Structure 1
Amino acid sequence: MSLIAEFTFQHAGLPLMSALESTGVQLDVEQAVAADPDRPVLFVWAFGGDLDAFETAATNEDDTVETITLVEDAGDRRLYRVQVSGSTEMPLYPLDDRLQASRLGVTSSADGIEARLRFPDRASLSEYQPLVEQKGVNVTLRRVYGESDAVFGGEYGLSAKQREALEAAVAAGYFEVPRRASLSDLAEDLGVSTQAVSERLRRGITTLVENALD
């Protein structure tokens, strides 16, 4: 039976980390294409923070980027095509391919890369983390579950991170009037940035309303 695992990866040499740290932008990876697994082409949606500063930093200051091209500008978010440079420490993509792991969702921020991957079996999953750590990447395994498990979203279509954020917000009194907790409190409880918590709550509420109210 396949398993789904959620990881956080942290390493200064991972793609676009320098540009993210200096601008507060977050990225959703839409697609990764690689004729050469060590130099993938990434299609990423950038949002939050200073998008102009991010584009400048990625173009002129981030050594992990060979080229970055604007594909679409949607106002509050932009789609970029990023050719990762040959000097990038990029251990993740080749290992995904080698262990037959498929990426279900990848988000990058200054706090690191949060990825949700499907592994064909437990042996493949067990082999993955030590191989990544051998490359010098700090790896945190946050959750493991089967695709049919309720934590995956159940009938309301929530991602595990969205459900976790919503449950934490309710438990902490974030939705009460007056509020008993702030975004900063939730961020500290979950070990992520306030931007990440805000994004998960916003997307989670949208998904919950859309599916619950059809």
Structure 2
Amino acid sequence: MALVAEYELQCADFPLVNVARNVPEATIEVELQFNHGDQPPFIVYVMHAPDEAVEQAFESSPFVGEYTLVGHAGETYRYRVLPAVGLEAQLGDQIEDLDGLRALAEADAVVERIRVTSRGWVQEAWFADRDAFDEFRTFWQSNCGFELRRLTKDGEPKQPGDGLTDPQREALRTAYEMGHFEVPRSASLSEVADELGITPSAVSERLRRAQTHIVETTVASTWPKLPDKY
């Protein structure tokens, strides 16, 4: 039975992790073009952060050799990033079993989504069976930090809230625990922003997007259509 997993790989040396650390308000997702040799280019999607801050972080990253802005829509910027170093130079100090890492590329698994955080990568992947997943998990538990977030059979629906970014989850949790959603509120948006170390506008945006996503994935699909006057 095929499985779908969401998990976090905690490795500070992963590509672009230092960019996520230097631009904490950004949501960063990547696609790897593996058919381009030992140093495949990355397609990098950056959301909710000014392009100037992102490009400054690219400039200071030892992983980024060249980068090109290939387009943007709204708050999402799309870059093509060429690595400055290969796999061994990038991960050699962190992961000893590079041959095992290369072998994972031939496993019965497909990584469908990669999100870069300040601690590593959060991935969503499809595995052909439990053995393929266990091989993957065992490797990363031995060579890095591995935290499983979700494991379901292929075809099962996601739980409500799946799909939130880490910054959105953090903003929701902090706002909730500080009493921002209580009536009356015991914490203002500015106080939540101070706790997170970001601007009130950034907190507002994260909460709005998170709340919209939760509504869309829970009750919105069951509502009848509103009258035309709305």
TM-score norm. by structure 1 comes to 0.71
- Distance in 2 between the 1:48 and 1:33 partners? 24
Give a deviation string over 1:123-182, Cα, whole Å, max 9, x none. Answer: 000010222244x421111221112324x15xxxx66344xx6xx87x978755445788
Give a deviation string over 1:174-203, Cα, whole Å, max 9, x none. Answer: 75544578878xx9xxxxxx7997486155
Match of 1:139 in 2: 146
Tell me the C-alpha RMSD between the 2 structures.
3.9
Alpha-carbon offset, residue 5 of structure 1: 1.0
- Partner amino acid, structure 1, of 2:75: D
Larger radius of gyration, structure 1 or 2?
2
- Distance in 2 between the 1:20 and 1:97 partners? 25
Match of 1:127, SS state, is: helix
Matched, 1:89 2:91: yes
Number of aligned positions between the proteins: 198
Match of 2:10 in 1: 10
Q: Is the 8 A contact 1:95 1:128 kept in 2?
A: no
Q: 1:211 to 1:11 in 2, by over 3 A?
A: same
Segment drifting more, 139-148 vs 117-126 = 139-148
> Which blocks of at least 5 consecutive residues in structure 2 are unaligned?
93-97, 197-202, 226-230
TM-score norm. by structure 2 comes to 0.67
Alpha-carbon offset, residue 3 of structure 1: 0.3
Equivalent residues in 2 for 1:92-103 (5 A)? 94=102, 96-103=104-111
- Runs of 4+ in structure 1 off by over 3 angstroms are 90-96, 171-184, 194-200, 205-214
Identity %: 23
Alpha-carbon offset, residue 116 of structure 1: 0.8
- Distance in 2 between the 1:175 and 1:37 partners? 50
Q: Is the 8 A contact 1:44 1:81 kept in 2?
A: yes
Match of 1:201 among 201, 210, 214: 210
Equivalent residues in 2 for 1:18-167 (5 A)? 18-24=18-24, 25-29=26-30, 31-35=31-35, 38-58=38-58, 60-84=59-83, 85-86=85-86, 87-89=89-91, 94=102, 96-134=104-142, 136-150=143-157, 152=158, 160-162=162-164
Alpha-carbon offset, residue 211 of structure 1: 3.8
Match of 2:35, SS state, is: coil
- Partner amino acid, structure 2, of 1:73: H
Match of 1:113, SS state, is: strand
- Partner amino acid, structure 1, of 2:6: E
